[in-house]
Amino acid sequence: MRRRQTYQLDLKKSASQWLRDLFGSPPFIGIDLGSINIRIFLEDRGIILKEKVFVVKNKTTNEYIIAGDEAYEMLGKTPPNLEVQRPIERGRVSDFDGVEFFLNKVIKKALEPYQKSQFIKRYHLIFVIPLGLTEVEEMAVVEVGKKIGAKEVLLVETPLATGFGIKAPILENTGTFIVDVGGGTTEVSLMALGGVVLYKVIKVGGTDFNQAIINYLRLRYGLLIGEKTAEDIKLSLDSIINSTNDLVEVSGRSIETGMPKSINIKKKLLYEPLYPYFGQIMDLIREAIEETPPELVKDINRKGIILSGMSVNFPDLDKYFNRELKLTVNLCPEPEFSVIRGLGWLISHQDVLKKVSIKFDKI
């Protein structure tokens, strides 16, 4: 008897869910579309996808054919008629058609596992956008969202999403200072009372770190490597504070002979080309603090600085900044997911979302 009642309840629940999915409000999808990675959050499901932001274009037919991780795996390996491209550069849409193709592919892939249990035909989209976009650039993001089938498109600025993602008190009467180091840009922002008090942006990010390693090995060791190899090297580095003499093997092509070449290099030496970029980020932090209202400087001094973003995962980078800046610097948990978790929080707190989002009624 008990089993039968449970079964009947389950049937009612399933029917109710089906009717809600069919006739109810479309679900919200949060998208953190960066220069290197995309992360997608589906309402009531959580983070459902992370992929590389690359597309492959057939130059003969002028058509896009592959997107995401599969396109990234083809980087540096394509024949002359195919080209691997980034449709997002420094946080901005650089290729409208490429972004549209990319988003169509990855959203379809992300939603596919849930289509059997949930009718998802249209949806609300929330895009996170970098600070400093012009209204035309913001409208371009909205238009992309509309073209791929969104019923409504909302925009949320990166530091606000980050603040909600790390559960910082950005709605309160206190200052929160966040440094977000992404794939193409670094954003330094101070927030209070639910808004951005001031911000600074510099075109320094993970792609620059990779290119610095590529240039360093080419100039110092006569070794040519590709971007994927540089990324692997970057991820293998040990502590920037207590770096050891551990060796890492790097393989590429000799500039002198044109033949394959491998070298063993101390990991700590590979930080050398990165120090100038870390210096630029710290200069940006100092510049922002110099412009901070005195009442909020007290909060920075008391609570410190929060490091976030996909490109701050160098071991002990927070301690290095702490030593150089003479300020408390804290690395937030899982920094590359702080933004998308912030969008997820906003989806479940619609009242706050309405206050902090940017909405275009017409495009």
pLDDT given at position 8? 43
pLDDT in tens, 295-313: 999 999 999 999 999 899 8
Q: What is the pLDDT of residue 271?
A: 94
Is the predicted pLDDT of residue 18 greater than 90, yes or no?
no
Which amino acid is it at 244?
A: T
- CB-based contact 189:159 (threshold 8 Å): yes
Mean predicted confidence (pLDDT) in 70-90:
92
Kindly report, residue by residue over 108-141, the tens digit of the pLDDT: 999 888 766 555 667 899 999 988 888 888 888 9
Which among 346, 363, 332, 358 is positioned nearest to 157, based on CA atoms?
A: 358
Alpha-carbon gap, residue 189 to 7, rounded angstroms: 53
Q: How many CB atoms lie within 10 A of CB 242?
A: 10
**Per-residue pLDDT averaged across 197-209, rounded?**
94
Give residue 169's pLDDT. 94
Percent of the chain with pLDDT over 90: 75
- Per-residue b/e over 319-336, b at no fewer than 16 CB within 10 Å? ebbbeeeebebebbeebb
Tens-place pLDDT, residues 232-275: 999 999 899 987 788 999 999 999 999 999 999 999 999 999 99
Q: Span 188-205, mean pLDDT?
A: 94
Question: How many CB atoms neighbour CB 136 within 10 A?
Answer: 7
Q: How far apart are CA 205 and CA 210, in angstroms?
A: 9
pLDDT at position 118 is 56
Residue-range domains of the chain with CATH: 24-161+339-359 (3.30.420.40), 162-204+276-333 (3.30.420.40), 206-271 (3.90.640.10)
- CB atoms inside a 10 Å sphere around CB 266: 13
pTM over 0.85: yes
pLDDT score, position 223: 97
Instruction: Order across the sheet with 247-254: list the strands.
Output: 223-224, 247-254, 260-266
- CB 99: neighbour CB atoms within 10 A? 22
